[in-house]
Structures are given as structure tokens and as C-alpha cells.
Amino acid sequence: MAKYLPKNVEDLINELGRLPGIGPKTAQRLAFHILKSPDRVARGLSDAVARVREGIGLCRECFNLCTGEICEICDDSSRDKEVICVVEDSLDLIAIEKTGEFKGVYHVLHGLIAPLDGIGVDDIRMKELQERVAKGGLDGELSVKEVIVATNPNLEGEATALYIARMLDGLDVSVSRIARGLPSGGDLEYADHTTLSRALEGRGAM
């Protein structure tokens, strides 16, 4: 970073540049936007960043982000608890929710199987998925009828989907994969609502 910038501005640009999808020029533009904004805007952003992790935990059923023991989706009596959609992270869950098409519940893996990156089955919420399906939900009162695998259509996503299908083989549950409405190598969070809706509607058995 050029030495003609004050150190606190330099530090802000460097920290913004660490965020995913933010390059050096974008980080610089954001930093100067904050500098030009009223104090209340800058302080509001600072306070929001400082508080973002306060009270945030994982739902004990689906492992989505939440502020209590159970997330709003799992706690919603109108959702179909017999259908579980498996996603990589909460961003993918949000993308699917925005379609308004899915009425079941979720299971957030918090990662995908990626041996080259040293990420194995034990590093994600795979065991919890197996237990959840086998015992029938949080309190063992439900019979899970279908597991929809909605991982990204890339190498890691496909490997994870295949592992889930094999892991659940033998249990009385249908395992399906969202249809190829998504481009190969694409991410769920960037897909439009129509594409995601068609992918859910056209899912096929594994």
C-alpha cells in the first residue's frame, strides 16, 4: 500500500481486501466511501461488525446459524420435517429459501469433502446427518422420507453427494439430487431464483 495514505486508512483497506470477492481496488473504494460517509454511518458499520458474532451459534438440529438452540426454520410447525435438504453452508440455504419452493427443513454441512484440501468426512456435519435420518429427527418422533442433496455441481459437491447416497443406503429413506438446472462449477448463492426453482423441481433419484 502506498505510504502517502495514513496508517489507519491503510489498515482498513488491507482488512477489507481480506474479504472474499474484494480485490485491492474495491477495498480502496469501500474504504474511501466509509471515509466520506457521515460519522453515524461509519460507527453503525463498526458496531455491526463488532457485534456480528455475539450470541450466534448453530441450531442443534440442522446446524444453521441462529441465536437460540433451534433456528426459526426447524421451529416452524408448518415445515415438512420429513424432507431434509442438505446444503454446504448457510448461504446456500438462503439461496434456496428465496425461491419459496422448498417447504421442508435443512441440514447444513459446513463444508464439503475435499481430500486435496485436507477436508474429510469427520470435518463436516456428516455424522450428524446420518444420525438425524436414522433416529428420525431431533426427538426421534419423525420418519425422514427424503433427503435432497443440494451441494454445488463441482468435484467436491459431487463427491459429497455420492458419499451421502452411500452412507444412507440401507436406511428407509429416498435420496435425491437437485437437477442440473445449475451450471457445472457454479455456486448456489449466485444462481437466480428461476434456475434454483427448476433445479429443485427436477431433482432425480441417486
Average pLDDT over residues 73-86: 95
**H or E element: which one contains 197?**
helix 193-201
Q: How far is CA 45 from CA 22, 55, 67, 106, 153, in A?
A: 17, 18, 20, 31, 35
- The verdict on 90 and 31 lying in the same domain is no
Q: Is 153 a member of any domain?
A: yes
pLDDT more than 90, % of the chain? 67
β 174-177/204-205 pair status: antiparallel
Q: How far is CA 68 from CA 64, 75, 83, 138, 165, in A?
A: 11, 11, 23, 15, 31
In which residue are the cell numbers 438440529 written?
A: 61
Domain tally for the chain? 2
Q: List, for residues 13-38, the tens digit of each pLDDT value.
A: 999 999 999 999 999 999 999 999 99
What is the predicted pLDDT for the residue at 163? 97
- The verdict on 87 and 125 lying in the same domain is yes
Q: Is 57 a member of any domain?
A: no
- The verdict on 80 and 28 lying in the same domain is no
Q: Is 61 a member of any domain?
A: no
Contact 169, 141 (CB under 8 A): no
In which residue are the cell numbers 431431533 written?
A: 138
Q: List, for residues 145-194, the tens digit of each pLDDT value.
A: 999 999 998 899 999 999 999 999 989 899 999 877 667 677 788 877 87
Q: What are the strands, taking DSSP E only, across 68-184?
A: 80-87, 104-108, 146-149, 174-177
Q: Is 94 a member of any domain?
A: yes
- The verdict on 136 and 191 lying in the same domain is yes
What is the predicted pLDDT for the residue at 137? 58
Residue 181 to residue 23: CA distance in whole angstroms: 30
What is the predicted pLDDT for the residue at 142? 66
In which residue are the cell numbers 459446513 written?
A: 110
What CATH code is carried by the domain that includes residue 20? Answer: 1.10.8.420
- The yes-or-no verdict on residue 63 having pLDDT over 70 is yes
- The yes-or-no verdict on residue 53 having pLDDT over 90 is no
- The verdict on 85 and 19 lying in the same domain is no
Number of H helices, E strands in the chain: 7, 7
Residue 162 to residue 159: CA distance in whole angstroms: 5
Q: Is 62 a member of any domain?
A: no
Give the side-chain half-sphere CA count within 13 A for 67: 5
Q: Is 172 a member of any domain?
A: yes
- The verdict on 78 and 47 lying in the same domain is no
Q: pTM for the full model?
A: 0.75
- The verdict on 151 and 90 lying in the same domain is yes
Range of the domain at 31: 7-51
Contact 83, 145 (CB under 8 A): yes
- The verdict on 151 and 80 lying in the same domain is yes
Cell triple for 10: 491503510
pLDDT-derived band at 77, boundaries 50, 70, 90: very high
Read off the amino acid at residue 81. K
What is the predicted pLDDT for the residue at 138? 55
3 state SS of 85: strand
Residue 106 CB neighbour total at 10 angstroms? 26
- The verdict on 111 and 42 lying in the same domain is no
Q: Is 116 a member of any domain?
A: yes
- The yes-or-no verdict on residue 11 having pLDDT over 60 is yes
- The verdict on 31 and 85 lying in the same domain is no
Give the side-chain half-sphere CA count within 13 A for 197: 7
- The verdict on 39 and 141 lying in the same domain is no
- The verdict on 41 and 139 lying in the same domain is no
